[in-house]
Amino acid sequence: MEAPPVSPTSLWDNIPEQLPEELFTTLLTRPGIRLERIVSRGQATPTGEWYDQPQDEWVLLVAGSARLRFSDPEQFIDLRPGDHLLIPAHRRHRVEATAADEDTVWLALHLEPGPSS
Amino acid sequence: MEAPPVSPTSLWDNIPEQLPEELFTTLLTRPGIRLERIVSRGQATPTGEWYDQPQDEWVLLVAGSARLRFSDPEQFIDLRPGDHLLIPAHRRHRVEATAADEDTVWLALHLEPGPSS
């Protein structure tokens, strides 16, 4: 029996012309794992809000640019295309800024917490 | 107690000037999961050889270009930056070609087989 054909898609597919809010698209899920694409167009985390997530998140900036902020200790990290980092579970962080003049495309891999490697 | 600082790295880091063989770099591992960067510079799977992997592999072409070939059914897929696809476990495939004049950078996520989504 033949396998079904494989079919590629693109991270650039299905980005609407108007993007009043960030766009979250799940690419793949497995038990304890979720891979998503995030598209930002100048958005940032609302003032005073922080992400505090129960899962580890590995994130890659594919295109555009962004500034992340972490607390305890406070850190500001500017991301360019190709930059990636692991955000441990419950490490408070926020997106301070994303590029205003182009789309910022992220790949985010949410994982059960575990020893970093 | 303060958490250790987060530290980003780049997919463009640590690519040697000479690349006689493809370069495989593990970025992150968890039980049943391995995320790796692959850098190709014109390499292809040797003639007559096929990959037949026990795990599913989600692959993203980050930069460069490549042509994949699958068997049963035979398929040729040309990948450009941003293209991604899920290669099911035991779906035989090979890399027919990668760009000769620039680096091709892949992100590969190896996963326990499961229902695709």
Contact yes or no for B60 and A11 at CB 8 A: yes
Contact yes or no for B29 and A84 at CB 8 A: no
The residue in chain B having the minimum alpha-carbon distance to the alpha carbon of residue A11 is B82
Query: Looking at CA atoms only, how far is residue A105 from chain B in angstroms?
Result: 10
Specify if A4 maps to a domain.
no
**Given this model, what pLDDT does residue A8 score?**
94
Residue from A38, A36, A45, A34 nearest A15 by CA: A38
Residue B91 C-alpha from the chain's centroid: 15
> CA-to-CA distance for B109 and B55, rounded, in angstroms?
10
Specify if B116 maps to a domain.
no
> CA-to-CA distance for B11 and B64, rounded, in angstroms?
13
Cβ(A22)–Cβ(A43) under 8 Å?
A: yes
Mean pLDDT for B62-66 is 98
Exposure class string for B31-63: b at 16+ Cβ within 10 A, else e: eebbbbbbbbbebbbeeeeeeebebbbbbbbbb
For residue A1, the tally of other CB atoms under 10 A from its CB is 3
3-state secondary structure of A11: coil
> CA-to-CA distance for B103 and B94, rounded, in angstroms?
18
Specify if B30 maps to a domain.
yes
Judging contacts by C-beta atoms under 8 Å, the chain A residues touching residue B6 are 70, 75, 77, 85-88, 91
- Statement: residue B17 has pLDDT above 80: yes
pLDDT tens digits for B19-38? 999 999 999 999 999 999 99
**Given this model, what pLDDT does residue B115 score?**
63
Specify if B36 maps to a domain.
yes
CA contacts within 13 A on the Cβ side of B5: 8
Query: Looking at CA atoms only, how far is residue A44 from chain B in angstroms?
Result: 19
Mean pLDDT for B109-113 is 92
Mean pLDDT for B47-63 is 96
> CA-to-CA distance for B56 and B67, rounded, in angstroms?
19
Specify if B27 maps to a domain.
yes
Cβ(B114)–Cβ(A31) under 8 Å?
A: yes
Residue A16 C-alpha from the chain's centroid: 18
pTM of the full structure: 0.93
Domain of B75, CATH number, reads 2.60.120.10
Phi, psi (deg, nearest 5) at residue A109: -115, 110
Mean pLDDT for B45-51 is 95
Specify if B66 maps to a domain.
yes
A109 touches chain B (CB under 8 A): yes
Residue from A84, A92, A90, A89 nearest A112 by CA: A89
Q: Count up the domains in chain A and report the number.
A: 1
CB-based contacts of B49, cutoff 8 Å, min separation 6 = B94
Higher pLDDT, B73 or B59: B59
- Statement: residue B117 has pLDDT above 70: no
| CA distances (Å), origin A40, targets A51, A55, B30, B76, B82 | 16, 21, 28, 33, 16
> CA-to-CA distance for B22 and B106, rounded, in angstroms?
11
Confidence of residue B2 (pLDDT cuts 50, 70, 90): confident
Specify if A8 maps to a domain.
no
Specify if A103 maps to a domain.
yes
**Given this model, what pLDDT does residue B5 score?**
87
Q: For chain A, 117 residues long, give each residue's pLDDT as a single digit of tens.
A: 678 888 899 999 999 999 999 999 999 999 999 999 999 999 999 999 999 999 999 999 999 999 999 998 999 999 999 999 999 999 999 999 999 999 999 999 999 887 644
Owning domain of residue B34: 23-111
